[in-house]
Chain A
């Protein structure tokens, strides 16, 4: 066989291919045996790869499983056998199998196109027949009616959505798994766990009231879980009591429902036909085999939050780099131990790519093992979570694409970590190694220069981008600064090595050793650096946020624990419902005080017979005396009540419930009794008057400035949330009249969420009932509470944490930083112990004390951790400042905490290295 190109010594393509195959066969064989021989090190690397992979897999699997509408959720929505679920809209629509931007919206029936749903209607029978005509021949329609019912067991009542269908149909029955009992037959109903929490249980007899007022009694036959599409439905048997509507009206709430049973799938074409007939379809076939997007113009890209994505990308990138720095030294240990074997391979004709392949194969195998374990771990964690919160994660679904990508990233992580040792091994001088001498270290200057420049540039970019509120720039700055510092680490270490001549011999030894073996020192310094930078940036940001949060005054709208029951925005009560409401309050809040009607001032309007008449509201704004001063306008809180509270001051309990501070109660009551507006001094002029802008809230101007009598009840600049309260005596002057704006109840403690939920349920059942145009809100004044989440990740990242959580977060950051920094330091120190063995033997031979070894190892740990901490501290503070500026917070560096961290890491690393060396546990094991 002639494997050379004729006339040359060059191999043919076939030979080159066989050489490459032979190279990797050998590399993988050596790697496999190396991992078996050094299982401890292999497991350590695999674990370091597995942890980030497990985290990523967990997040992706959880997100995928949490997706509300996706193929694997078909069973949750359609059970094991239904072909489709159809909901009548009453007019032709265009549906998309999944949501797709603002043109599409999620309403009671699924994703529908907003402008497709117009106020149309059609007879129920006609719609049902039209749908039946569009179905495949082998399928049948099973009617299911939806409606709102009121359940009353004599002790309490609740409003619920009800579904009435034929549970004798096996596929329909399978759609509603039963937790306890059985599906309803004649004279029975099934309820959800939620109803049981409210007091209904198996065997209870309840009165079922329909919207038309008809009632029937039924026995609770079963408990069913919440469902993905109807939350907490009451299930009714086919026999009633719901009856089909005459008309199906779009924009309604209780769309009629049908289930499709049979063998034929409902295809996308069928779905479009049924859409045209006036119904929305959730089809198993479509969910499992989605059609191509019907509207290519509407894509998610318009909704991508690039700022949030850039922050995520930066965090992931820095996190992966941290993992690389932590894993790298472990490979370097292996490479160092295998130096002679690699040299022997070279002697026998292995070129540099083969030597690199030998080391990379180790990364490949450990990375693959670690990644597989990590993916398995992540999926298992999601499975456990799904057991704990089945409502949120109804079905475990594996995102194959993302999981594969994560797996590959894990493998790549290990291969990239193995690359520097592989490169060094391939470049090592064979003769030097075979002679038992240490390879010479080349020290190019360009990485230091480029790295330092990038570090400075990155820090400047981060701070400037932060000040300009440019999240992408901040993220880029963070990454560039980190990479630059890491690149410059080698030069910094070398510089310190050169200036070590005045130090004691242990420090001199450690610094020069670090400089000489930069290959293992730099990853360790980088690991400490990144961990410290992250921690310092986090602490800086959270400290600034703390200042903002603590500096932001909290304005309660009532005294703590007070419960308000109000109408929707701008509505007042048409009649006094205090008697009925008092009974509900007594049931839900047994310790509460009396119900306090809340009078508000409104502009008289024509008679309105609706249960929640909407009046023209009186918008009253008190201007500060000094328009240029720091004090702002005072207005009634329209988010709470439909107008300024009006009283003559005699009801001290009402004033107290409104949250007027105790020290101002007398003054406020006196002012109101005197017909004056109670105000802080900043809003009352020298003549005892206040300038008030009066206008009708919903109408356009005229706006009128009025001068009204006022009385001082607070110091300048003091804000009392519910001021101004309007004295009854001024109503006539303003052309207003009192109306019932809501009710207040003072509770000695903040009601629990269960109490609030119970009161809301009872209020809905007793006061709202089937009135679809009325809503009653139960609200509780809880005092200062955690900040609410934001709609973007960036927002949620910058959402203020609670005072309670802040110390825990700070501690978690500090502990994570300490852990990562120590891991990085110790791995390098362990490697250094291997390299320094001949030197230490020499030292012992020339009479160094037995403690010399410990002192050297401790000094090496100190060298790495001090350099990493110092650089990380500087970078972290700069990045933290950028992040803080991005969030428009004032810059506040927590010097005490970051200094403590910067001191604690080196001290811990040094002390622990000293201790471990003496005990000969970790370091000696690594050396074997």
Chain B
């Protein structure tokens, strides 16, 4: 069985010469099925870069990024797009949904793009929406949904069909605490059901829902040099279940 996400020696450098910026410096990170990993760190520490590289939105300067067994660091844009359709789902802070598509169509989007027949895609999307408790909102447009509902639809889309890895970038950032808690609880539940999750957050309270937390600073995993996946922080798992 392939590991959902395995990053090894990932570096990312932007610019050249005097403008050179090292966003990531030799990151090793593995996220297994049923595991939710939180990534914390100050602004500019490389959290979003890590997420973008993990999801194939960006390519690393060096290192490997295996998603469900495929090294997307060595693949072209078209193949990375295919990986995003089948293996990876993103959840952002806000404006996650395509406004011109209904909730159901938003969830079915990666399946339809991958060539699944509309009826089958719709069936899978309904199942995913049912799992997040929003089947009744299937035909509503995003503008008719609350912020929390939109994030739940985004989580459903991130894990629709064969997708088993969700990359969440501050998914609670635009929500009040009650709604935010509900979204994190849902994410946790989806991971417990077999998915894998990488959660970028500023909020330790939400990080506590993760199986372990990785702290980034200046592109490095804090507490470990290049090549570290924060294994030394595995003890942070003791925070697990603090609220659970």
Contact = CB atoms under 8 A, between A and B. Distances in A.
B82 A349 contact: yes
Interface string B108-128: 011011111110000000000
A915 to B, nearest CB: 33
A252 interface: no
Interface in A1-29: 3, 9, 11, 15-19, 21-23, 25-26, 29
B157 interface: yes
Given A3-B115, A9-B82, 13 more contacts: A18-B116, A22-B118, A30-B98, A30-B100, A37-B100, A345-B109, A345-B113, A346-B81, A347-B55, A348-B113, A349-B113, A351-B81, A351-B82
A25 B114 CA distance: 12
A16 B101 CA distance: 23
B58 A431 contact: yes
Nearest to B95: A340
B193 interface: no
Given A22-B112, A25-B118, A354-B113, A348 B157 contact: yes
A15 B58 contact: no
Nearest to A19: B115
Interface stretch (B30-38, B85-93, B224-232): B85-93
A588 B38 CA distance: 105
B58 A349 contact: no
B112 A25 contact: yes
21 contacts: A3-B115, A16-B115, A18-B115, A18-B116, A19-B113, A19-B115, A22-B114, A23-B113, A25-B118, A29-B100, A340-B95, A341-B100, A344-B98, A347-B57, A348-B90, A348-B110, A431-B52, A431-B57, A431-B58, A434-B57, A434-B92
A347 B116 CA distance: 18
A927 interface: no
B100 A33 contact: yes
Nearest to B109: A348
A9 B74 CA distance: 14
A718 B201 CA distance: 99
Contacts of A341: 98-100
B79 to A, nearest CB: 8
A797 B101 CA distance: 53
Nearest to B87: A349
A352 interface: yes
A525 B88 CA distance: 43
B213 interface: no
A211 interface: no
B84 interface: yes
Contacts of B112: 22, 25-26
A231 interface: no
Nearest to B78: A351
A17 B115 CA distance: 8
Contacts of B90: 347-348
Interface of B: 48, 52, 55, 57-58, 70, 77-79, 81-86, 89-90, 92, 95-101, 105, 109-110, 112-118, 157
B70 A9 contact: yes
Nearest to A23: B113
Contacts of A352: 77-78
Interface residues of A, number: 34
Nearest to A345: B98
Q: Which of B98, B117, B118 has the most CB of A within 10 A?
A: B98
Contacts of A26: 109, 112-113
Nearest to A354: B113
A857 interface: no
Interface string A331-346: 0000000001100111
A30 B101 contact: yes
Contacts of B86: 349
Contacts of A347: 55, 57, 84, 90
A352 B79 CA distance: 11
Contacts of A9: 70, 79, 82
Interface string A420-433: 00000000001100
A39 interface: no
Nearest to B81: A351
Contact of A350 (B55, B113, B157): B113
A344 B114 contact: no
Contacts of B110: 348-349
Contacts of B92: 434
Given A9-B70, A341-B100, A430-B57, A348 B115 contact: no
B3 to A, nearest CB: 17
A26 B118 CA distance: 10
Nearest to B48: A435
A348 B116 contact: no
A346 B90 CA distance: 11
A352 B109 CA distance: 15
Nearest to B118: A25
Contact of A344 (B78, B82, B97, B105): B97
Nearest to A430: B57
B52 to A, nearest CB: 5
Nearest to B99: A341
A341 B98 CA distance: 5
Given A348-B109, A434-B92, A435-B48, A34 B114 contact: no
B115 to A, nearest CB: 4
Contact of B113 (A11, A17, A22): A22
A18 B113 contact: no
B87 to A, nearest CB: 9
A438 to B, nearest CB: 16
Contacts of B82: 9, 349, 351
